[in-house]
Amino acid sequence: MDKLNGKICVFAGSRRGARSAYAEAARGLGRALVERGYGLVYGGGNLGLMTVIADTMLGLNGHVTGVIPDSLVTKEVAHQGLTDMRVVKSMHERKAVMAELSDGFIALPGGIGTLEELFEVLSWAQLGIHNKPCGLLNAGGYYRPLNDFLDHAVAEEFLKPKHRALLLVEDQVENLLDRMEAVIATHATERFDAAKT
């Protein structure tokens, strides 16, 4: 994959949360994506952590693509300054377009919507629908209870260890991106080898 053309989809809360660590993580992720040559794909809103990462990247001349259903343009206050804004007809179309445009997925802290988006792409990876890396940025330890739950699901044999391993979890942005790039590179090599045979 040409990293200059790569895009990472980030799922993030429409609120900033109770702790400054969450916005700091969003800014850090935005800076790291620009430094590594990645564009951002996100939900297109101008609220919460979504705004923090989008504005950070735009301030550094990064490429930001928003994808928002027409019914939420007003409710989520669609961001007016993006590089590329795509208005779609439904939440289902929104998620499909975001997934199609992206080379990997990262969840910042967020609520039900963020978790729903993350687990949908994670379940697609489990089913083999895509082989794009799925990451969880555990800013300020926010996702520690979720990680404990997933380990519990493995222990209770509702989740296979190999599927648990599909979710890359790190506290630090650079570590998470390093692991995601390793997955992206591995799959690119596999596609190249398959094309030669």
| pLDDT tens-digit series, residues 122-159 | 999 999 999 999 999 999 999 999 999 999 999 999 99
Q: Give me the number of domains the chain comprises.
A: 1
Q: Where are the beta strands (DSSP E) in the chain?
A: 7-11, 39-42, 64-69, 84-88, 104-107, 134-137, 167-170
* Interval 66-125: pLDDT, tens: 999 998 887 768 899 999 999 999 999 999 999 999 999 999 999 999 999 999 999 999
Share of the chain above pLDDT 70, in %: 92
CA distance 135 to 109: 12
Mean per-residue pLDDT for 53-59? 97
How far apart CA 59 and CA 176 sit, in angstroms, is: 23
DSSP-assigned letters across all residues of 82-101: -SEEEEESSHHHHHHHHHHH
Contact 109, 142 (CB under 8 A): yes
CATH number for 54: 3.40.50.450
CA Rg value for the chain: 16
Say yes or no to pLDDT of 35 above 80.
yes
Residue-averaged pLDDT of the chain: 91
Report the alpha-carbon distance of residue 17 to residue 150 in Å, rounded.
23
Instruction: Please tell me the pTM assigned to this model.
Output: 0.91
Tell whether the model's pLDDT for residue 193 goes beyond 60: no
Residue 47 DSSP label: S
Range of the structural domain that residue 82 is part of: 3-196
Chain center to CA of 157: 27
User: Among all chains, which residue has been given the structure tokens 């007016």?
Assistant: 80
